[in-house]
């Protein structure tokens, strides 16, 4: 076996295939399009694999990610984010002359600037309106969306194709473990809004929602035409604790080495916040994770805290049993931000060989 | 002015010079060496500037960072971290045939593996013993250090040059804002340990401690020969709240754009946890930061929470006053992890021009 120096991310491609198949089959069953969010893997090869498995296109968070995916050959991309500022608008319009690219709009300022620039090029930019369904991040408020959609639909440089939301596992604006109720609320709010707009003469074709925890349930809701899960390709501890993934489905693991055992009760690994990210803190509702990751084969150990290069492993009132040089494999709490910290990762191919692969879209936030 | 697309890190080189001068002058005043930690900037040009200002060498957290700095021409590097594993030991010994490079040891397993490999090459590896002075991360415990140092000093492939610690702003193992007491404790524990070892016939030359909050005070403590601050080059909100830095000393700022104002009470910026990192959470003792960064010129606004690509700005019980397209400049809570998220940053030179510079050591965790 290839000797992979730690810390490193290793991805099991056989399980990746199973994970892709699971969500694709569910989407197909309900006649719903699957548009995977590439933010989880950021790798062109994996995006192409998702397309081969039946995805209708991909989703990106930022324009710079879309540029990487487009350069790699993906020809249908939804940037689920507002495109704001003259340079970004020009970059978006340049891409839209080459491939189908869609972006989100949720402000009149943003929509009209995009419309004006598109019209000046003799183009029409395909947009979807973002609806705030309770996550309280971006998105038009429900009581303002009809008026907003009317104005957008009249802008000469825009082609209003649909609506979308990001709601994750929330219910009435609060994190929840009741995924069925969360998905029902999401499906209802999206489809009601689509109907409201249609009944006012605004043709809404694409109705897009669903993330990894709720995607399979949202796909089943009447009127939903597309789901956009991201994490499903690798799964992680967050999804595990939400009951969406099984341990064996978590197929992107971090290989680390124990570098210090200052006392029998504490071991230090060579991965900290520069490896695991720190955005999913332990004990955050509703998941209440006990640590920064799941140490495979060591349910007795807790990944307690981190600095940049140090991860501290403890065990409740007992020696850890770890010694310097021990190798551990850890499933991160949040695999998307972990992937964003690595320039390259290792794919374990189905034949047992390893491929060192660039994380093509890493760090592309602009 | 160069049009820098957001989000982007912009560094004021004139202030960088002032920050470097401040700590260098303090170290010089006390006859103490300054060995800056490059983890804050990860840029060869800035490391060389620190050397030109009088630094004796630099400090790195990981061997891969040291390799980047050595390739860039830095010839005196302390890797303040254990070097564990056959490949890493060979890489360390290869570097030590080219430059002065030192690493930390805190385990017999690690020290003897390094010694054996060095002896096999006919080399002696320069090491320093890490002492746990209460931070409870890595490091030999105080009541074990004499025995440990005796064994290390007898290892044929090692050259035991000194001791070091990382304690940051802690007192009796707890975070504190009493920097004077924290530094006094650090100076005392380090110098007492050095004396203990010397009185037992173990020659200890280098006694290294001090980080940005306490470095200037630790440098003044009798017997301390070296300090290793990192953040001082840019400063950040953590140092601001600890009373170590003034607002104008915070010279690495993140330029962001308001991309959404879903309600008058909430604005979304195009930087989230993939830009600002999330390892220094608001309201963490002892600093109790109210948000994820300081929004320059807008003390009334709070950088309340983040997802990967979204930062949410609020204001207590009042409209934010922000509109889509507004540009903000934000000092991050923790500038080191922010730098680690960017492939390149912009340096504002003293003549007003901008240089786009690679973050050479970004992501080098192995």
Closest CB from A61, A273, A342 relative to B309: A61
Please judge whether A310 and B137 are an interchain contact, meaning their C-beta atoms are less than 8 angstroms apart: yes
What is the residue-wise DSSP string for B5-40? PSSEEEEEHHHHHHHHHHHHHHHHHTT-EE--BTTT
Compute the nearest-CA separation of A23 from chain B (Å).
23
Tell me if chain B has a CB within 8 Å of the CB of A270.
Answer: yes
Predicted local confidence at residue A229, as pLDDT: 98
Please judge whether A366 and B6 are an interchain contact, meaning their C-beta atoms are less than 8 angstroms apart: yes
Residue B287 has pLDDT above 90, yes or no: no
**Strands B76-82 and B58-60: what pairing?**
parallel
Predicted local confidence at residue B263, as pLDDT: 97
Whether B285 contacts B272, CB under 8 Å: no
CA distance A282 to A335: 15
Residue B257 has pLDDT above 90, yes or no: yes
Chain segment B122-171, per-residue pLDDT in tens: 999 999 999 999 999 999 999 999 999 999 999 999 999 999 999 999 99
Tell me if chain A has a CB within 8 Å of the CB of B61.
Answer: yes
Whether B330 contacts B296, CB under 8 Å: yes
Residues ≥6 apart with Cβ < 8 Å to A264: A319, A320
Kindly list the distances between the CA atom of residue A275 and the CA atoms of A49, A295, A311, A338, in Å, as whole numbers in the listed order: 26, 14, 9, 6
Residues in B touching A107 (Cβ below 8 Å):
260-261, 324
Q: How confident is the model at residue B1 (pLDDT cuts 50, 70, 90)?
A: low
Tell me if chain A has a CB within 8 Å of the CB of B178.
Answer: no
Residues ≥6 apart with Cβ < 8 Å to B127: B102, B103, B104, B105, B111, B114, B152, B158, B159, B160, B161
Whether B61 contacts A308, CB under 8 Å: yes
Q: How confident is the model at residue B72 (pLDDT cuts 50, 70, 90)?
A: very high
Tell me if chain B has a CB within 8 Å of the CB of A337.
Answer: yes
Residues in A touching B109 (Cβ below 8 Å):
323-325
In the predicted model, what is the mean pLDDT of chain B? 96
pLDDT average, residue stretch B198-206: 98
Predicted local confidence at residue A322, as pLDDT: 98
Predicted local confidence at residue B316, as pLDDT: 86
Residue B289 has pLDDT above 90, yes or no: no
CA distance A83 to A106: 10
Please judge whether B325 and A109 are an interchain contact, meaning their C-beta atoms are less than 8 angstroms apart: yes
Tell me if chain B has a CB within 8 Å of the CB of A148.
Answer: no
Collect the ranges in chain A with pLDDT lower than 50: none
Tell me if chain A has a CB within 8 Å of the CB of B85.
Answer: yes
Please judge whether A259 and B110 are an interchain contact, meaning their C-beta atoms are less than 8 angstroms apart: yes
What is the residue-wise DSSP string for B330-359? EEES-HHHHHTT-SEEEEE-TTS-EEEEE-
- What residue of B is the nearest CA neighbor of A140? B262
Please judge whether A279 and B281 are an interchain contact, meaning their C-beta atoms are less than 8 angstroms apart: no
Tell me if chain A has a CB within 8 Å of the CB of B365.
Answer: yes
Residues in A touching B3 (Cβ below 8 Å):
87
For testing the chain B interface, which of A264, A274, A276 should be mutated: the one with the most B CBs within 10 Å? A274
Please judge whether B308 and A262 are an interchain contact, meaning their C-beta atoms are less than 8 angstroms apart: no
CA distance A274 to B63: 15
Please judge whether A109 and B323 are an interchain contact, meaning their C-beta atoms are less than 8 angstroms apart: yes
- What residue of B is the nearest CA neighbor of A111? B324
pLDDT average, residue stretch B103-117: 98
pLDDT average, residue stretch B171-193: 97
Predicted local confidence at residue A283, as pLDDT: 79
> What length does chain A have?
366
CA distance B218 to B235: 18
Share of chain B above pLDDT 70, in %: 99
């Amino acid at each position: 076996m290839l000797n992979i120096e730690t810390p490193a991310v290793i991805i099991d491609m056989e399980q990746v295939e199973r994970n892709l198949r699971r969500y694709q089959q569910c989407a197909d069953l309900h006649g719903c399009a699957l548009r995977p969010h590439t933010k989880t893997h950021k790798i062109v090869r994996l995006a192409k694999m998702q397309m081969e498995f039946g995805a209708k296109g991909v989703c990106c968070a930022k324009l710079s990610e879309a540029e990487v995916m487009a350069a790699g050959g993906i020809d249908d991309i939804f940037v689920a984010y507002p495109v704001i500022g003259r340079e970004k608008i020009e970059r978006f319009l340049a891409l839209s002359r080459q491939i189908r690219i869609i972006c989100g709009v949720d402000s009149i300022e943003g929509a009209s600037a995009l419309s004006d620039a598109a019209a000046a090029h003799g183009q029409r930019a395909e947009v979807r309106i973002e609806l705030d369904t309770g996550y309280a991040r971006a998105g038009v408020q429900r009581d303002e969306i009809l008026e907003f959609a009317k104005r957008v639909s009249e802008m000469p440089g825009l082609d209003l194709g649909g609506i979308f939301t990001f709601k994750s596992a929330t219910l009435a604006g609060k994190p929840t473990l009741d995924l069925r109720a969360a998905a029902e609320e999401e499906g209802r709010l999206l489809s009601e809004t689509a109907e409201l707009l249609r009944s006012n003469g605004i043709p809404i074709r694409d109705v897009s929602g669903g993330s990894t925890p709720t995607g399979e349930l949202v796909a089943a809701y009447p009127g939903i035409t597309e789901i956009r899960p991201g994490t499903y390709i690798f799964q992680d501890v967050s999804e595990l604790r939400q009951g969406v993934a099984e341990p064996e489905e978590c197929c992107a693991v971090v290989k680390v080495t124990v570098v210090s055992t200052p006392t029998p009760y504490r071991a230090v690994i060579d991965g900290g916040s520069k490896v695991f990210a720190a955005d999913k803190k332990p004990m955050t509702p509703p998941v209440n994770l006990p640590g920064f990751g799941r140490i495979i084969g060591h349910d007795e150990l807790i990944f307690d805290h981190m600095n940049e290069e140090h991860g501290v492993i403890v065990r409740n009132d007992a020696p850890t049993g770890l010694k310097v040089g021990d190798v551990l494999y850890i499933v991160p709490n949040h695999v998307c931000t972990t992937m964003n910290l690595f320039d390259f990762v290792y794919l374990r191919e189905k034949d047992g060989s390893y491929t060192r692969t660039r994380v093509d879209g890493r760090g592309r936030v602009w």
